[in-house]
Structures are given as C-alpha cells and as structure tokens.
Structure 1
Amino acid sequence: MSEALDRLHPAVVHHVVNTLGWRSLRPLQRQAVDPVMDGHDALLLAPTAGGKTEAACFPVLSAMERHGWTGLSVLYVCPLKALLNNLLPRLRDYAAWLGRRVELWHGDVTAAARRRILADPPDVLLTTPESVEAMLVSANVDHKRLFGDLRVIVVDEVHAFASDDRGWHLLAVLERLTVLAQRPIQRIGLSATVGNPEHLLAWLQGAGKGSRPATVVAPGVAATPNRAQDGDIELDYVGSVDNAATVISTLHRGEKRLVFCDSRRLVEQLGAALRMRGVTTFLSHASLSVDERRRAEAAFAEARDCVIVSTSTLELGIDVGDLDRVIQLDAPTTVASFLQRLGRTGRRPGSVRNCLFLALSQRALLWAAALLELWGRGYVEPVEAPPEPRHIVAQQVLALCLQEHTVGSRLWTGAWNGLAPFHSGAEPMVRHLIEQGYLDRDGELLFIGPEAERRFGRRNFMDMTAVFTAPPQFTVLAGRQEIGQTDPALLTERVEGPRVLLLGGRSWKVTWIDWKRRRCFVEETDLRGKARWHSPGTEGRGHALARAARDVLLGATPRVKLTQRATRTLAALREEWGPTVALDGLVVTRTGGAEADVRWWTWAGRKANATLAASLGAVVDGRFDDLSIRLRDDLTPRMWRAATAGVPDRLCLPEVDERALAGLKFSAALPPRLATATLAARLADFDAAAQVLAEPVRFTVLG
C-alpha cells in the first residue's frame, strides 16, 4: 500500500484516505500504479465492481499533475451512454481533487454543452467511439485544437468492443487521434475476466503493438478466474414465463433482485407477469426510451423489495444500487457474459456472489447446465475480433475524407499508422469506392463523392459514425411522453379487435399511427398486449458450449445446487437425448420411415456446423443448428465415407444469404464479392470443423 501511495499525487492520497475513507487500495489498484504512471499500455482485469475505474484514474490523474498536462489530455471511452452517465459524477469528484475538469459528450448531450466543451476543452472527456467519430468528421470542430494534447485513452469494458465491429472502428479512430496528437497515446483497457488477456492487450495496442511497453494487471484473476465454490449458484427448471414469475414473486421477498433475459420480448412478458402478482417491477432494454430507462434504474437503485428485469443493457457495470440477488432466465451464450452478471452481486462485506437460473424449456436447461459445467472448469471464452472487416475499411476511408476534406490518393494509408487492415491491402476497396461514385478523384486527391452523399449524407453524415445497423422501429407515444419503440410488424399484422402493445411492462392500446413520421400514439389499457422486435440472425452457441452440453448428456453434472425439478428434468433429457451422444465418437441417427430424418449430431456449435454443411454439400440437405446437421435421407455409411474423405483439407466457407448482407453496415460500399466473403468468414469455424471430422462416427436407427 505505502509504495503505491508514494507514487500517487499527495492530493489523491489525501482524498482516498479522508474523503473516500479507504483504509487501503485493492490489489488491482496497487499493482496498476507503476505500469500506468510509467506510461505502459495496460489491461486491468477484475470482476464487476472490482475497482477498475479507480485503478486507472488515480495514477492517470497523478501523472497528469506530475507532468503538467494541459488541454484535453485523457479520453475515457465506454460502449454505453448509460455507463458514461453513471461514471460522470464519480470521475468529476476525483478530478476536482486536483482542480481538473471532466465533461461528457455523447448523442444525448445538448448542443450548448458541446459548444462549451469546444470553446474550453476539459482535462478528461467521457465519450463513445461513435461520438469521437462524429467530432472528427464535423466541420464545426477544430480537430487539432481539441485532440492535439491527448496523452491517454482509457477504454472501459474493452472486451465488449473487441468482440464485434465496434472494436475495429475504435482501433481505427484511435490511430487517427494518434496522428492528430503527433505522439504515441497510452492505451489502458478495463475488463472483467477474459480467456486471452495478453491477446486482448496486443489487440488494443493496435499499430503500436511491440513498440511500446505493455502490462496485464490481473491480481488473482488469471490463475483462477472462477470456481464453482466461489458463488451461491442454483439451477431450477420452471417451464414457462408465468411459472418463473411465480417463483420470483415468492422467493427472496424483501430483497432487491436483478433478472436478466436475453430478449426484449421476454423482458416485457416477465415484467407484466410480475406486476400482475403485485411485485414492484422495473424494466430496462434498448427499445425503451432513455427517460423511461433512467426513471426505472433510478427508482430501482433507491428501492428495496423490488425487481428490475433487463436485457444485457445492465450487464456492463451500470450502478443500480446494492443488489441482493441476480436471476437468469434460461442462459446467456457465453461464460464471460455470465461472469459479468454474477459480478453484480456479492459487493457487501460478508455477502457472496449468487445467481439463480430459471430454465423455461428443457433445451434451455441443457444449455444452462452446459454453461455452468464450463464455468466450474474455469473456462472463459477468448475474445476474438471479427475477421476481415472490409466494410469498416470502406467506412474509415470515407470518414477520413470527411475529416480532411481531401486526401492524397497515395497518402491515405498513413492515417492509420500501418494498422492492418487499414493499409495498402485495402486498395481494392478504395478503387471500388471511386468506381461507384462514393469517392471522387481530382488528380492525386480523393474527396467525398455523390453516392456517399446520397447513401450516408443525411443529418450531416451522422449515419457514417456508427458501424452497426439498427432495424427500423416506430416510436410509441402516450400523449407527449415517449414510452419506447416497437417493431413495425406489430402495427401491420391482422388483429381482431383493438391493437394492443406491451411496452415498459404495461399494455397500450394503439389510437393512431403516423406512418410517414414512424410514430404510434397509444393509451394505457387493461387488455393484454403483445411485444415483438426483429432480431438479426445470431451466431448461435460456440463450440466449447455445445461440447459441454454433450458432456452433460453423457453424465457430467455442474457443481452447483440443482433443485429437484432440475434434477428430474435433466435425467429425462439424458434418457431422451441419449441416442444422440456416445463416449467413443459421434452419432448419425435415422428416424422415421418413408420420410426419414437423418441427422449428424456433431455437438460442434453453429459456426462449425455451417462450415461442415458447406463442405459436405453432396450429402447435406442444407439444414443445421448448434448441435446437428441434417443429411440426405438416402445416406449410407459407404456414401458417408466417400463424402468425408479428404474434406479436412478442403473445408469451405459457409454459404451466405444475400439478405443477411443488410445487417453488415457499409456492405453496399464494397464489391459484392468482397461483402459476401466478409460475412462468410464470420460464419465459419475451420478449427472446430476439422476437429469434428477427425472423430469416429457410428450410424444408429431410432424407433
């Protein structure tokens, strides 16, 4: 403690002891002081509520004061606006200890507040990558003046960025900021437990990987990231939303409970069912209005004996007060997500982390048991960036032309300091942008063309700043109060009687629809409403989780509490699914008579099965899921051996439905061939597919 405090600024030490009343720093906070103050790129790992923010901010603020940094010297980047809002008061207090300022900039911040920031930049700016991009492409921002003094970038919940295209966008934006600052910028990532921390840190370093010191700080995390005995975990089978609501309303009365559901529709259904049972219930999901979510989260934080039902929006560290219990309906698709949710509890001295799983179906029980089996083994998924982000390259070239107005046709690669894939290998995408009119060319200069204006130019190119696509929704209004948004399908489907929506856990009768402005006016009703949102196709479960499900069917039992209902249902599952698994290899089953169902039970995960289905085209009928691949009904063992011979050496990318390209934003700015190849690469798992093909297969006829 004393050595760490000796390096921190005296004012920081004074307030840690006297204002916060801390008798000591946590291990992560102690061990982060030296590498952060020495300018190392760093990844700070700890469970949720493990003190990661302070581990980064105390030494960064101390370095700011020691070295006399001026201007905007620190960016603090988060994946969610709500998380930024939550952090702002705390970070303002910490910075004020040293007479420094912290401000906030995201899509909900007023124009007046933004003008004040531009006129007088703060020392620390809390923001999102999309907001930084918006600043870079804005003609109203003096980029050099605003970002020229940058020294440090803190990326909170860095794993949430790295696992999708927002991560590629973030890295590209950071390199452009480095060019503006004309100096290396220290990068500090904050994360919960991940399976590959060194790889994640190297990813965060971007073009500077290998040229700057880098340190993973994870006291006690890397060796034993999680053990079953570290938490109070229980698995139950309830069979329906109504039964789940009954269990939640009768158990743990007097406690503050956070229930996670993995769809907005399920959040709405459970919220309505709990309110019918007299439970004080709040809801949080992305289709509720900002005001509606804030009111719910604030009321929940101040209340007792209540429940908040949420999608993953409350997974990432947003403070909703002192929780007693986490409840999970069905199961998330990764151990990492479960760890985030588990980390919401056990924060009080003497309390333990806890989670109650309530499975709504037999298959959901199997997936929950598989997840807990992996967790008990200490497994956490590695964080991997999506391969071949060609569409992000196209977006970045267009954004750079907006930022600089004109870019040299031979100089544009320097904007990202050689970061792959934003280098000379991207020239085919740039040629396509010129050929299709997204870019115009005047001699050696490139600038925004008419096609980019047409597709992305609305609202001063704001559509250019986000790399994810949101499906169109209708805004739901009760008078002047915005409730949230709903899928247009609910407003067009045929109904008998009044059209009633379920939103915010309440039923609303539709009174008028403004089709042109995409608005829907409602009034509250006692009738039963419906909730629905279109969700893009998911990647399904991964190979490790699918294999753990197979292990559960073969007898592995997670080392957690199982209710009698869960134990009985798991036994029934093992009996029912027993013919699909074998200890000595994989199984091909044949059921039915004239219209036989022939299925290869790979237990390999969605991506591996997509790869195998594409590679074994002659014997596959095209259908597959996370667990199996349907085969031709006339398949014989001899045909199978002939079809699989040599396949591991010639595995194919999965086929891509052209309609799926709509979910790949900026794919229209790519040659069709490259857009399809990008999506196909993201649907494949060659390693798992090759592993499956190496396993023996036996054929079984089921009655």
Structure 2
Amino acid sequence: MNSSELHPVVLHHIVNTLGWPTLRPLQKDAIAPVLAGSDALLLAPTAAGKTEAAMFPLLSRMASDRWRGTSVLYLCPIKALLNNLLPRLEGYTGWLGRRASLWHGDVTFSRRKQILREQPDVLLTTPESLESMLVSVNVDHRQFFAGLQAVVVDEVHAFAGDDRGWHLLAVLERLTHLLGRPLQRVGLSATVGNPGDLLTWLQGSGAGTRPARVVSPDPPSQAQAVPAGEVQLDHVGSVSNAAKVIAALHRGEKRLVFCDSKQLVEELGHALRGLGITVFLSHASLSTNERRRSEEAFAQARDCVIVSTSTLEVGIDVGDLDRVIQINSPFSVASFLQRIGRTGRRQGTARNCLFLTLDEGSLLRAAALLLLWGRGWVEPVTPPPEPRHIVAQQLLALCLQEHRVGDRIWPEWWNGLWPFGTGSEPIVSHLISSGYLDEDSGMLFIGPEAERRFGFRHFMEMTSVFTAAPEFTVLHGRKEIGRTDPALLTEEIEGPRLLLLAGRTWRVNYIDWKRRRCFVEPADGRGKARWNGRGLGGLSFALCRAMRSVLLGEDPPVRLSRRAKERLAVIREGDLETVHPGGTVITKDVTGDVRWWTWAGFRVNATLAATLSQIADSGQRVEEDSVRLRANLTPDEWRKAMTGAAERLCLPEVDPKALTGLKFSVALPERLAVATLAARLADLHGAREVLGEPSRWSIIS
C-alpha cells in the first residue's frame, strides 16, 4: 500500500499545501491497516509524524465513507498537548471542509455550547473530559456520539502504565456499548518493550476478535540509535555548579533541561536567572497561563533555556531544539528516549543529551539507565494490577450517566472486559450497603454517600482517577502564578516568608486559609520551593540490577567526563562489599547491622521482607538496594528460611494511611483496598529470581 491509496484531496494537500514530496516510513506503513479499519499501534520515536500517520488515513475514510457528525475522537493525556495539536488538526480537517474542536476543563462554557450545537468531525479531548460529557446533564451523549467511528489515543503508553489506563479502557467500553458496535482504536506510542501486549491492552474487549497490527518501521535498536559521543555523562555535584555548566556551554543555542522534581526546576531556574541566562520554566504547579507564556516565548527565542519536569517530555512542540540536558536521571529508558527525541529534528543535526548529576546516587542511576539503553532494552508497559477502586468509580459514573441501571445488567456495559464484569459483585454489594448506591425495584442509582463524597461541582471529582496533593494558589494581584505546598505556609520561620515559584522569589503578604490562596509580591533573596510527591514502587528491578552491573565495573557506552569517571571509581570502591558477580551478598558489620544486598528495587525488596518476616528486621524502611535482617541472624537460620521461600511468597504489608493515595478507596471494603495496594507494592517475578540466586556472607571489620 502506498500514499496513492489516500483520498485524492488528502493526497493533494500533503503534496501541495504541506509541500511533502513523500511520507515518512511510519506514515506509509500505517495507511493499509488504518484504511482497512483495523485496530493499530503506531510505534515510533518522537517527531516521527505519528499524528499524521493516524489522521491521514482516518480523514480519507471520513471522506470516502461520508462519515457524519463527530466521527473521530483524539484523546491525549494532558491538555497542553491537545492545545498544541489543535491548529494542525484544524488545518488537516479543513482540507475536506470538515472541522476539529477542543473540549477540556479550560474550554469555556459558551464554547462548549457551540460545540454541542455545531458538532465537529474530530473532537480533541482527555478521557476525563470524555467521561464528563457522558455524565453531564447538558450533553445528549447518545445523539452526540451517534456517528463515532474511530478513537485515536496519543501517548498510549503513558495511559497504560497507571490507573488512567484502566479508566480510559472502561470509558471506551461504555461508549462501545452505547453505540452497539465496535470502535476502531488507534494508539500512538514511543518505543516500548512490549508493543504487542500494549496493542492487545488497547483493544480491550475486542482483543482476539478484531484485526490488529503493530506498525513500527524501525526495530527498537535502530529507533534508539544515536551517534557515538552525542550522549555524555558528567558529575557536577550541586545545582549551582549545574547552572554554571549550562550557562557556559552551547551559548547561542536553544536548550531544554529536564529535572526530576518541581523543586529542582525552581532552584535551577533561579540559579540560571542569577547568571543572566534567559530562562523559562514549565511544571504542573505553575499556572496554565504561566506555562503557556514560557513555552510560547521559548519556541520563538534562540539563545535561551527552558527548565521542565516531564511535562515537556511528550510531544508538545516548543520549536527547534539544539540541546537536551538532563539533571540527574529519568527513571526509565522509555522516558529518556522521549527526551532525547526532542533534538535532532533539523536536517544535518543529531540527537543529543548531556547528563549532569548532582550526587553519587544520581550518577549511579544515570550510568545504569544508560547501560540499559546501550543494550537496546526498553521497559515493558504493564497496567497496575487489581484496579478495584477504578471498578467502584466506574459503577458510580455509569449510574450518573444512565441515572439508573439494572442490578443484573450493569456488567454488559463493559462488554466482558476484566475486571469490570460479574467478578465485581462484592464491590457492588459494598457500594449499596455503604450508601454510595441506592437500590430499588431491581435498579441501581447514585446514593447519598456518593453525593456527599463526590457531588461537589457536579461530580467533577468523580471523573478524575488520581489524587492530587492539596496545594495553595499563589497570586500576584489578580495574576495566578501557580500553586505551592501548604507546608511552606505553615512552617515556623524568622523574618518574611519567601516562596520560590516560576524561578522568582516572592514575599507572602496574606494567606486566605479558607479559599486556599496566598497573595505575594516580588522580593529579593532566595525563596523556598517544595511539593509533596506521591508514588508507589521506587526504582525498578531492571534498573537496580543495572546499577549493580555498574558497581561491578561495567560502563555505559557514552562519553564519560573525567569527573564522572573519578566519582564512579569512588562509588565502586565504597560499595565493594555489597556486590559480587556470583550472586547476592549478605554483610554483617561491627555494629551488628546485617543486610542482604539484593540490588533488586523497592517492590522486590518489599516482597522479600514480607516473605522472610521471621528473619527480616521488623519495622524497617524498604530500600532499593538491600533488605535489613535480624542482627542475631546466623547462616544456618538464613539457609533454613530460604528453603522453599520462592513457593510461599507474600504480599508486602500495607499501612492503612497509604490508602489515601488510592483515589476511590473509600468506596471499597478496607480489605479489598488493602489487597489492591499490596498487589501494587509487590514484584513476585523479581523476588523469585533473587531467591533463585546464590548468596554469600561477608563480615565487614
């Protein structure tokens, strides 16, 4: 199949409006399966034209088959990416006399009313906004979605790896049931380690019954190819040193700097501004307008730096980049591939990335990640297990959507998709008994407890499946700058209270505790930035094992600075007793501290500590590299405990306080909520692998 199979009008505009002499490999390869109506996963690095690969054949089908009404949904994980894509899709649909429109939380009420009156052919939205349309009393969802034919899911790997993926699948199944026919599903993804599994996951209830194809013009090894020397690893030791290096290098070029926290973004931005560098910032706690101003200004400038968290990792266009700089390290190879893929888009330029690490732990982690990348390895994307809280959320959302649902037919809405079927009856029973659902004459409908817990602002909280930490809005006059952690507003201080936000220092003048707002004005000096991060799992098994390989002497296939080489040598010398090429190591030092150096990651070590509770030190904080054992443990007791351990693995213990981070856990029986969290804290496969390895004892004098 070649590009001539596209609709003539689409093909005409590709050649004459865009001026493209030919399509890219992915775009050519996607034509046949997408035109045939198959489900597909389009897999390619950043800037490979995935949006066009999906939309050109879908627009061709729209014209040839005379689709009417809103026939294509384009779903993205973040609003900023939707905003960025809209002008392109407005142009492409305009070729055919069709329209594309945007619908998310920032779209005005009047604009939404216009969309409902004059339906676009392509609607760009998020899964949360899509569900809001399904449950809204202002949207006739049966009429609005009657012509729907296909769904494009951009950055599908970003969905599949967390609970938003389960939410996305469940909402698509409800749409499918509503229409009474399957929808073509097209996923767009960066390189992943298990593309076939990801496509099967995206198909949902259609897996095995609908045609499906992974479209990937390049094997992962080729997709990752970067010229030798264009990836560099350096150790600078501090934020101020990192700022000096960035300020001195690549003057006159456009540089995108990634950091692993919002706090680090703020500190580095402030340091760069102090050195006279034109700098812009982007992270999730900055106001939408502040981020948009930064991203637009950066796109138009040349000699400048933008400092960002992962918010700029996905395909938001910030212009033609010269350099990517990574402070410390991302937590996955897939994330690194996304980031380095932001460079090398101009003809004659190469993809590049400079790592600047601030401490020894980050240097070791960066070296390990680059070691995995050099091996051509990419993480598989795996959905989080046991999403019982999402099942509860979906049952409540369905009752909002339909007003009342038969107490025997509700599983039909998810078309047999696990885990939303009849196996969820205990959750339904709990929702009824606890007042989240009411039951009358064989029908289920929203109960008073759901109204009390989630009814605020027309059940807006019901459509979001993640819990955000509470933050205070920071305002300078009427201008919103962003949001900050309330702990910065309550801690005891001497002198004025100074905040660091948008790379600038602000003095707090007034705090409105009731409305969670604080008012500030510009100030000199250096303020403080802090946000509470939430997350499960820590470092992966694969990454920790690569860290062990680095400690054993293996270097990543990148340019190492003199400072990085010297510091790695110091790290290796310091960890000499914790690694051995023949297996794991158990050490006992002069203080009586006994540790099992697994180098297996948080989840594996949590699983091992629970399984070997009779010899593990009770109450220990789970570490990435080791499990602390009883101080009086003997080698004989160790061997006895290890016998048969792989056949009796246990899930980690769960602190009930941790359930607050699992949204909708309040709508579950506590035992099911605890079981859900325990399953997510475990890595049974990795634990079995570690238990199958030999171990040796070492007494450290």
Taking structure 1 as the reference length, what is the TM-score of the superposition? 0.99
The AA in structure 2 aligned to 1:140 is N
- Which of 84, 87, 94 in structure 1 is aligned with 2:85? 87
What residue in structure 2 maps to residue 179 of structure 1? 177
Distance 2:178 2:128 in 1: 17
User: 2:602: which partner in 1?
Assistant: 606
Aligned to 1:597: 593
Aligned residue for 2:158? 160
Q: Is residue 413 of structure 2 the alignment partner of residue 415 of structure 1?
A: yes
1:371 and 1:545 in contact (8 A); partners too: yes
Residues 1:537 and 1:211: Cα distance change in structure 2 (over 3 Å): closer
| Counterpart residue number, 2:65 | 67
Aligned position for 1:493: 491
Matches within 5 A, 1:148-227: 148-222=146-220, 224-227=222-225
- Give the drift of 1:228: 5.5
1:44-85: CA deviation from partner (whole Å, max 9, x where unpaired): 011001100000000000000000000000000000100000
Q: Where does structure 2 lack aligned partners over 5 or more consecutive residues? A: none
Deviation at 1:527, TM superposition (A): 2.0
Note the C-alpha offset of 1:143: 0.8
Contact 2:226 2:350 in 1 (8 A): no
| Structure 1 counterpart of 2:116 | 118
- C-alpha deviation, 1:202, in angstroms: 0.2
What residue number does 1:259 align with? 257
Q: Secondary structure at the match of 2:567?
A: helix
Provide the C-alpha distance between the structure 1 equivalents of 2:65 and 2:625, rounded to a whole number of angstroms.
57
- Residue 242 of structure 1 aligns with an amino acid whose one-letter code is S
**Per-residue CA distance 1:8-67 (angstroms, 9 max, x = gap):** 011111111111111110000000000000000000011001100000000000000000
Q: Which residue of 1 aligns with 2:630?
A: 632
Q: What code does the residue aligned with 1:613 have?
A: A
- How far residue 180 of structure 1 moved from its aligned partner, in angstroms, is 1.8
The alignment status of 1:243 with 2:237, answered yes or no, reads no
User: Which stretch has the larger CA shift, 621-630 or 171-180?
Assistant: 621-630
Instruction: Show the counterpart of 2:613.
Output: 617
1:589: how far off?
A: 1.1
Is the 2:604–2:684 Cα contact (8 Å) retained in structure 1? yes
CA distance in 1, matches of 2:282, 2:335: 17
- Contact persistence 1:512–1:521 (CA under 8 A): yes
Structure 2 counterparts to residues 267-666 of structure 1, below 5 A: 267-593=265-591, 596-621=592-617, 622-666=620-664
Query: How much has 1:636 moved relative to structure 2?
Result: 1.2
Alpha carbons of 1:440 and 1:205: their partners in 2 closer, same or farther (altered >3 Å)? same
Deviation at 1:659, TM superposition (A): 1.1
Give 5+ residue unaligned stretches, structure 1. none
* SS state at 1:308 partner: strand
Contact 2:170 2:394 in 1 (8 A): yes
After superposition, the C-alpha distances for 1:610-635 in whole angstroms (9 at most, x for unaligned) are: 10011111111133211111111111
Secondary structure of 2:627's aligned partner: strand
Query: 1:93 & 1:230 partners in 2: Cα distance?
Result: 39
SS of residue in 1 equivalent to 2:445: strand
Distance in 1 separating the partners of 2:197 and 2:220? 13
How far apart are residue 231 of structure 1 and its match?
7.0
**1:5, 1:288 → 2: CA distance?**
43
Q: Secondary structure at the match of 1:623?
A: coil
Once the 2 structures are TM-superposed, how far is the Cα of residue 403 of structure 1 from its aligned partner? 0.3
Q: Is the 8 A contact 1:193 1:221 kept in 2?
A: no
In structure 1, the residue corresponding to 2:132 is in which secondary structure? helix
Deviations 1:278-311 (A, max 9, x none): 0100000000000000000000000011000000
Q: What is the CA distance between 1:223 and its match in structure 2?
A: 5.5
SS of aligned partner of 1:22:
coil
Across the two proteins, how many residue pairs are aligned to each other? 699
Matching residue of 2:47:
49
Q: Distance in 2 between matches of 1:680 and 1:666?
A: 16
Q: CA deviation at 1:229?
A: 4.1
- The amino acid that maps onto 1:245 is A
Deviations 1:569-605 (A, max 9, x none): 1111111111100011110111233xx2211100111
Match of residue 107 from structure 1: 105
Cα RMSD for the two superposed structures: 0.9
Q: What secondary structure does 1:556 align onto?
A: coil
- The farther-off stretch of 573-582 and 80-89 is 573-582
Q: 1:293 to 1:231 in 2, by over 3 A?
A: farther
Asked whether the equivalents of residues 583 and 694 of structure 2 are also in contact (C-alpha less than 8 Å), the reply is yes
What is the rounded CA distance, in whole Å, between the counterparts of 1:468 and 1:231 in structure 2?
Answer: 40
Q: Which amino acid aligns with 1:336?
A: A
- How far, CA to CA, are the matches of 2:218 and 2:416 in structure 1? 36
Give the SS at the match of 1:575: helix
Deviation at 1:230, TM superposition (A): 6.5
Distance in 2 between the 1:15 and 1:404 partners?
43
SS where residue 242 of structure 1 aligns?
Answer: helix
Residue 146 of structure 1 corresponds to: 144
1:225 and 1:378 in contact (8 A); partners too: no
Q: What residue identity is the alignment partner of 2:387?
A: P
Q: Please tell me the residue identity of whatever aligns with 2:130.
A: V
Deviation per residue, 1:444-479 (Å, 9 max, x gap)? 000000000000000010000000000110000001
Conserved? CA contact 1:543–1:605, under 8 Å: yes
Q: Distance in 2 between matches of 1:63 and 1:513?
A: 56
Whichever residue aligns with residue 131 of structure 1, its letter is: S
In structure 1, C-alpha distance between the alignment counterparts of 2:479 and 2:227, rounded to whole Å: 47
1:187/1:230 CA distance change after superposition, 3 Å: farther
Displacement of 1:318 = 0.3
Residue deviations 1:538-597, cap 9 Å, x none?
A: 42110111000100111111110000000111111111111100011110111233xx22
* 1-structure distance, mates of 2:525, 2:564: 34
**Per the alignment, in what secondary structure is the counterpart of residue 230 of structure 2?**
strand
CA distance in structure 1 between the aligned counterparts of 2:549 and 2:565, rounded to whole angstroms: 16
The 8 Å contact of residues 374 and 548 in structure 1, kept in 2 or not, is answered as yes
Distance 1:375 1:131 in 2: 36
AA matched with 2:693: E
3-state SS of 1:357 partner: strand
Equivalent position to 1:686, from 680, 684, 687: 684
Contact 1:155-1:190 at 8 Å conserved across structures: yes
In 1: Cα distance, 2:488 partner to 2:472 partner? 10
Q: Decide which of 127, 130, 155 is 1:129's aligned counterpart.
A: 127
SS, match of residue 353 in structure 1: coil
Question: CA 1:367 to 1:93, structure 2 compared with 1: closer, same or farther past 3 Å?
Answer: same
Deviations 1:122-176 (A, max 9, x none): 1000000000010011111101111111100000000000000000000000011
